[in-house]
Copies of this chain bind each other. A is one copy, B any other.
């Protein structure tokens, strides 16, 4: 499977941002079976402040889906889009849509919602209610998750137990310019490490696509976020297959061999040895 990672900046308007996305897509579409876009790729990461007017960005969700469906048809690819979904008045989700050569293959609504200074997602997004369900496509069963999900081993494990063949994380994560350099390095390294850990634990390849570039905090409370790029793909032993830059837009294609899932799991048969009868505590918030 040939997978394209599209890592880009946000531009002055939705139109300009999408135009740039299409340019990057067209650099690689002919060499790719699957194209993965970053989280909320149609515009800026608007969750840096809590602003009710930003809910308007979700109003065209159906049109947005139709547009990316059309893109997937024209390029003859499977496409993972990440969109702001208005489900009804006052009810919104951070959703990933999988488009399969002109068909809507499925939808995932972000399950784990962060809320930290500069990432006020609990204000914007209701927690997903579709569960952790892989999405079947013409090229395989895709375990699509979104950003904050990448810190939770449970999400990756459930996708694996449901037969996902590839873990996919559209993402928007970056540094605060005011943090010390050592903290920035620890954060970036932790982010890559934990996701490689999910690949290893589940014997699955993984693709993560992050945005790049600085976006100022429109509220002025914080300086803003320097999105750290470093989109990457790894194989089922966590081996890095490709890693993009920290500060440049890039469209890169990587070959992922799904046969390796079986090979690696046959030498590291973790799924055989899980002690499922002793895992009850995982269904509790805390076991005090």
Residues of B within 8 A of A287 (CB): 158, 161-163
Residues of B within 8 A of A161 (CB): 281-282, 284, 286-287
Q: Is B193's CB under 8 angstroms from A274's CB?
A: no
Residues of B within 8 A of A162 (CB): 281, 287-288
Interface size range on A against B: 35 or more
A273 to B285, CA, bound (A): 9
In the complex, whether A253 has a CB less than 8 A from a CB of chain B is no
A287 to chain B, nearest CB (A): 4
Instruction: Specify which of B194, B197, B275 is in contact with A127 (CB 8 Å cutoff).
Output: B275
Given contacts A151-B201, A194-B238, A288-B163, contact A276 B267 (CB under 8 A): no
- Residue of chain B at shortest CB distance from A114: B273
A152 to B274, CA, bound (A): 7
Residues of B within 8 A of A288 (CB): 162-163
Q: Is A280's CB under 8 angstroms from B283's CB?
A: yes
Q: Is B268's CB under 8 angstroms from A151's CB?
A: yes
Chain A contacts to B: CB under 8 angstroms: 111-114, 116, 127, 131-132, 148, 151-154, 157-158, 161-163, 186-187, 189-190, 193-194, 196-198, 200-201, 237-239, 267-271, 273-288
* Given A153-B154, A193-B196, A194-B200: 6 more A-B contacts, CB < 8 Å: A151-B200, A152-B270, A161-B282, A186-B238, A186-B239, A271-B286
The 9 A-B residue pairs whose C-beta atoms are closest, nearest first, are A197-B197, A153-B153, A161-B287, A194-B200, A194-B197, A186-B237, A162-B287, A158-B281, A190-B200
